[in-house]
Each structure stands twice: as C-alpha cells, then as structure tokens.
C-alpha cells in the first residue's frame, strides 16, 4: 500500500513539474562550477521558479551574465533594492547592520560599497575564495530576469531543498 502511494505521489509530482515547465514558470538548470559550494556543487541539477515578486536576502538565483549573452550564472542575493551594502574586512553590512551569512564559505577580500536603487540587487558567491565573478566584479544586477532556485533533484544523494 505504501509503495503504491509513493508511486502515485511521484507521478503527481512529475505531472506538476512538467506542467510548470510547459507554462514557463519552472525551469531546470545544471550547476557547472563550485562557486556556490557547499550549497550547490558542479554537477548538481536544480529546479527554479521564475521570480515574480521581490527577491529575499539569501535566495539563490539564476540570471543572465550581464556581459556574456547566453551565459547563465547562479549566486546568492545579499543586498536588496533600496539598501546600502558595504563589504569591509570580510564582513557585509546592509544599511549599517552586519549580516549573518551561514552559507558563506571562505574569507572575502576587498572593500566595496553600493547604494542600490529600487531596480538593482547585490549577489555574491557562497564559495568566496573560489569565485569573485559576482557583484564584486559585475556590480549591482537588475532585478529583471531572475529565477529562484528551490530544489535540487540530482544527484540522488543530494536531493532536497536548496538553502
């Protein structure tokens, strides 16, 4: 009985994901680098939803590279529209308040400051020593074409929500 229930739940899940992809609200992505480790690793496959509301601090998002058409990037939202974000001595502050970043991995060098308007945000890699191709190099990103990553479905040993 339990096995048939699980199979039914899996079938419903596949149908719902397929419908969401068909409607353009869900999309799958492959992670091809380690800039978001340990949350995401090279070879992970994730499902993301089109972001239709304001992003939240800590959201993992996929977005088009601002200078390389057709190239997609995956990073974490750190600074929200309308905030003043500062990086100094490896610490990040938003509107003067230090941010707790349980996802951050490695020391972050450099000093940066952004006064964000209501149309831009700051994204950073989780694996700070491996990647600097985030807002530290690219600057603030437009809120426009973003996908919020919610679920990793491959590899089997890492299936689950992305946080």
DSSP-derived 3-state class of residue 91:
strand
Number of structural domains, the chain?
1
CA atoms of 144 and 119, how far apart (whole Å): 8
Whether residue 10 is contained in a domain is answered as: no
Residue 18's contacts (CB-CB under 8 Å, 6 or more residues apart) are none
Whether residue 1 is contained in a domain is answered as: no
pTM of the model: 0.85
Whether residue 48 is contained in a domain is answered as: yes
* Domain span including residue 105: 26-161
CA atoms of 93 and 113, how far apart (whole Å): 10
Whether residue 111 is contained in a domain is answered as: yes
**pLDDT one digit per residue (tens) for the chain, 163 residues:** 444 443 433 333 454 455 445 457 899 999 999 999 999 999 999 999 999 988 999 999 999 999 998 999 999 999 999 999 999 988 999 999 999 999 998 888 889 999 999 999 999 999 988 877 999 999 999 998 899 999 999 999 999 999 8
CATH code at position 104: 2.10.109.10
Whether residue 12 is contained in a domain is answered as: no
Whether residue 2 is contained in a domain is answered as: no
């Amino acid at each position: 009985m339990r096995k048939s229930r699980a199979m039914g739940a899996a079938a419903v899940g596949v149908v719902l994901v397929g419908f969401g992809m068909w409607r353009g609200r869900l999309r799958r992505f492959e992670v091809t680098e380690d800039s978001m480790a340990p949350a995401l690793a090279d070879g992970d496959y994730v499902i993301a939803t089109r972001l239709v509301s304001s992003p939240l601090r800590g959201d993992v998002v996929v977005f088009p590279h601002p200078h390389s058409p057709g190239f997609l990037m995956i990073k974490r939202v750190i600074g929200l529209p309308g905030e003043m974000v500062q990086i100094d001595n490896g610490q990040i502050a938003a509107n003067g308040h230090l941010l707790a970043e349980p996802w951050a991995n490695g020391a972050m060098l450099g000093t940066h400051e952004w006064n964000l308007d209501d149309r831009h945000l700051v994204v950073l890699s989780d694996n700070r020593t491996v990647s600097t191709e985030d807002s530290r190099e690219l600057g603030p990103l437009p809120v426009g074409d973003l996908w919020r990553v919610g679920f990793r479905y491959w590899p089997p040993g890492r299936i689950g929500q992305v946080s």
